[in-house]
Amino acid sequence: MSVEIRSITPDEILAYRRAVRVGFHNATTTDDESFAREISDPVDRHYVAVDGPELVATFGSFPTELTLPGGATVPAGAVTQVTCRATHRRQGILTRIMHGDLAASRERGEVADVLIAAEYPIYGRFGYGPAARGTQREIDATLARPTYSGEGSIAVVDGATFRKEAPAVFDRVRLSRPGMIDRNAFDWDMRSDVRRSPEDPKPWSGFRLLCLDGDGAVQGYARYTVDENWRDMRPKSTIDVVELAATTPAAEARLWAYLLSLDLIATIKAGDRPVDDLLPWLLVDGRHAKQTNCVDMLWLRPLDVERLLAARSYPTAGRVVFEVDDPLGLAGGRFALDASPDGATCSPTTESAELTIPVTALGAACLGDVRLDVLARAGWLDEHVSGAAARAAGLLASPVAPWCNTWF
C-alpha cells in the first residue's frame, strides 16, 4: 500500500498528537483535545504520512515573526513536530512533506523558514543553514563575584504576575536581537505555568524573578529551578537558569548579581545564552562563567531573497552582485544588493555575478552569525571576483549576535 501524505483533519487532532509523542519517545497516553488542538494550530499546516490505519510520520509548521539585524521583523514559517517511524525511514517521506511545506510558505508570502535541527546533516539539503548559535555556561557560585551589581530591585513573583509582566519585556528584547521569534499567548501560558500540559500536569517547581527600575517599571525577568544537594553537611546545590532576559544592561546585571548572591548554591547553570553574552564580563574573573557548550540553534532557509535582505539593516555602505543557487527553485536568481546604514535595496539583475552562493550558505550568513568570507574559505560558495566575499561579509555583519532562546 502506498503512503499518503496530507494535512490532518480536525477530527485527527488527538491521533496526530499521539503520533508526535511516539516519535519523540514519550510514552504518556494522556489525551486532552483542547490542548492538542491549540498545539496543532493551524491544522492545515500540520501534515501526516498515512500507511493504512497508521500515522507513520508527522510534520508541523506555524507562522511567526523573525527579527532581522536592525530590529525589523519579517513573516516566517517555523517547522516543528517532525517525526517518522523507524519502519518508514529513508522512503522520501520527509522530502515530500518538506518540499510541499516550503512551497506553501513561499506562496503565503513568508520571507524565510526556520527550525531547530535535531540532526545537523538533514536540513542542509532542503536549503537551511545554521544561522544563530546558542551557548551554555556553568558558573562557580562559590567564587564568582560581580564587578557591577546593576540597578533596580528584584521581586520574586508567582506565575500569574510573571504571565502579566514578562511578555512585554520579551517583546522588547526580541526586537533587539536578530534570530528571535515571537511567542503567542498559549506559549506564555505554558511558560508561566498558568496552564499545564496534560502529559506533565505537575506544577512547575521553580522560581520567577522580575527586575524593576527606580520607577517600578519591569525591565527584566528570570526563571530558575534549584537542584538541592547537601554533602557532608555542606550545601552544594545547583541553580538551572531556564531563561533570563532584560531590556537594559543594568537590569541584566542586577538579575545575575541576585542569582550570585543566593545562599546554599555552589553552581549556576545557564543554557540558551547568546554567544556575545554579557555574563563573563560582569564578573571580577570571567573564567568563573565557563562556557560548557556552543551549538547551532536556529537554522534559516531563505524563501524571498529580495525582501529578506532589503528589510535588515547594514553597518556599512557597499554593493555586491550575487547568484543564489537553489535546487528547489524557490529563492534562486541573480541579485544586486545596494546597502548602507540608511537603507538597502535588493533587486534582480542581469549583471555578472561576483559570487555564487548556495541558498544554504545565504541562510547561514544572513543574520550575521558567520561571515561569508569564512564560508568561502570553507568551500561553501564560489567567489568570481577577488574580495567580493569579504565585501559581502562586511555588509551582512551584525553588531549584535543573532540568538533564539525559544524552543519550538
Q: Which of 35, 62, 123, 224 is catalytic?
A: 123
Decide if 123 is catalytic. yes
CATH of 304-396 given 3.40.47.10, 3.30.1050.10, 3.40.50.970, 3.40.50.10210 = 3.30.1050.10
Q: Are 299 and 115 in contact (CB under 8 A)?
A: yes
Q: Are 226 and 238 in contact (CB under 8 A)?
A: yes
| pLDDT attached to residue 34 | 84
Instruction: Name the residue with cell 513573583.
Output: 157
Instruction: For residues 366 and 101, give the distance between their C-alpha atoms in angstroms, rounded to a whole number.
Output: 22
| pLDDT attached to residue 1 | 54
Q: What are the residue boundaries of the structural domains of the chain, listed by start?
A: 4-127, 135-295, 304-396
| pLDDT attached to residue 201 | 86
- Class level of CATH domain 135-295: alpha beta
Task: Encode the chain (408 residues) as per-residue pLDDT tens digits.
Answer: 589 999 999 989 999 999 999 999 988 777 788 888 888 889 999 999 999 999 999 999 999 999 999 999 999 999 999 999 999 999 999 999 999 999 999 999 999 999 999 999 999 999 999 999 999 999 999 999 999 999 999 999 999 999 999 999 999 999 999 999 999 999 999 999 999 988 888 999 999 999 999 999 999 999 999 999 988 888 899 999 999 999 999 999 999 999 999 999 999 999 999 999 999 999 999 999 999 999 999 999 999 999 999 999 999 999 999 999 999 999 999 999 999 999 999 999 999 999 999 999 999 999 999 999 999 999 999 999 999 999 999 999 999 999 999 999
Q: Which of 16, 47, 162, 408 is catalytic?
A: 408
* Domain formed by 4-127, architecture: 3-Layer(aba) Sandwich (3.40)
Instruction: For residues 95 and 334, give the distance between their C-alpha atoms in angstroms, rounded to a whole number.
Output: 26
> Which of 156, 144, 185, 153 is CA-nearest to residue 168?
185
Q: Output the CA–CA distances (angstroms, integers) from residue 271 to 247, 263, 292, 394, in the order listed.
A: 19, 21, 9, 30
Decide if 120 is catalytic. no
Comparing 135-295 with 304-396, is the CATH topology the same?
Answer: no
Q: Are 218 and 211 in contact (CB under 8 A)?
A: yes
